[in-house]
Amino acid sequence: MRCPKCRKITGVLFTDSENKYKCPFCSERFVADSSEKESIAELLKQFADDYGKEIFLNNARTNAMLMDYMPDNRKERKLIINVMRENVVNELIGLYGKNTDEILSEIRKISHRVAEDICITESASEYALMSVAYALGLDVSDKLSVSLTDTVSETKAELQKTIFTKKMRISGNEIDESCNAVGFRAYSADKNLTEITLPETVTAIYPKAFLNCINLKKIYLPSALKDIGTCAFEGCSSLESIVVPENSVYIVKDGILLDKMTKSAVRAENSHDRLKYIIPENTERLCRKAFDYNNAEIVKLPKSLKIIEPDAFHMSLNLKYIQTDSGNRNFSSYEGVLHNRRGNVLLKYPSSIADAGYYFEDFVEEIGYRAFSCAVNLKTVTFTGTLRKIGDKAFEYCTGLERFMFPMNLISIGNYAFYRCESLENIIIPKKVTEIGSLAFAGCRNLKNITIGESVKYIGEGVFNDCPDIEVMVRSNSYAEMYCKSRNIKYKI
């Protein structure tokens, strides 16, 4: 609610009765009026205006402030924070500069993915995304709803059913056989879970049901199982055996759990004895986190493969070579490095390649999402003049990366692009670069000098966080100078 005197949004500060408040800004005392309550979108917008958009990169702080300012809106507050935890803030920031139709189209795509990942309705997901997008300054006000009730087409009972009613009742490792699904995060981070047999009554495993069960080694799936949610076994780094009896939907073949209906590779077993995986022919999709924390050194992709979802090889730190079938029309491999078929987008550089240097092929125009993530052996890269875009998190945690020179045709550096590249010391941003994403160089603790030209028209939040000795070389009256000045970042003209 707003203070009637200074018009700032206030926290709930009781005075002498439950319906009286005291404004923390001007000390005005007033009686609460339900008509004065703000939508959560307006409140988030006020946070951005008062504390900067960077606040939304800190989920804990945002949650604490929402608890202070809207203690009665538990459902909306929890929804907003759960959605923000799916890294959506950086995705939304990446929409700056796009027109309204493009923004709304991308938000719908993100909404669909988030709804699947955290097991909520798409309408609830879209409500949260629209609220955060509005706070970030994106042009979505015409599509913004004042409350969750206005947006969600389902009734409150239906919404609760979708999220909560199929969670399992668990006693130790035993599941009540009256239940028909393993709920969202039902076993999340259960370190005592080493082996489990799901009863025949279970027909569905919800997204992230076994999230970070790091000691789970073996799971027996029931023959009646019809659906496994997104990233159901994310973080199960010890999962070496997935057993499936005769089942109309799922089968384990060559160490890979396959969905026969969608022709998807859902999850690879993580056996220390198996260092090479050959994904079976007829597989068309490699799912997110399929090789999550896997010990594989070589993975061969079939001719039939059409889609590789983001993070399919997340934290596959032993991966040395990705091989593609020569007849595949969607992907290609150059010396074990995965590209799209044309070769102009580099998709995945195996983290465990021993070479200290990498030379980009002349035809590469874009480095994809997390393409070089955790490539700790990499010390130098040589870009080609054709490179135009470095994607989000492209070189995150490349802790050994010491030097490179950006190509002159580069125009965009993504969010978290060089996050925690702790060996970098000096960088020159080329003249054609127009945008540098949020936290692009955050955590580069040894970065001392970076030169940013006057062509840069956008620099994201927190781009130099945890860079204690940074000095930015800028042009007089440039956007970079204004950015540094407004954030007390040391700079030199």
pLDDT tens digits, one per residue of 158-207: 333 333 334 455 555 566 677 788 888 888 899 999 999 998 888 999 88
Mean pLDDT of 105-134: 88
How confident is the prediction for the chain on average, in pLDDT? 86
Q: Is the per-residue pLDDT at 438 higher than 90?
A: no
Check residue 456 and give its pLDDT.
95
Query: Which of these ranges, 36-45, 141-150, 164-173, 480-489, has the smallest mean pLDDT?
Result: 164-173
Share of the chain above pLDDT 70, in %: 86
Take residue 129 and report the two structure tokens written for it.
């995304």
Of residues 13 and 67, more confidently modeled: 67
Of residues 100 and 283, more confidently modeled: 283
pTM of the model: 0.79
Of residues 408 and 145, more confidently modeled: 408
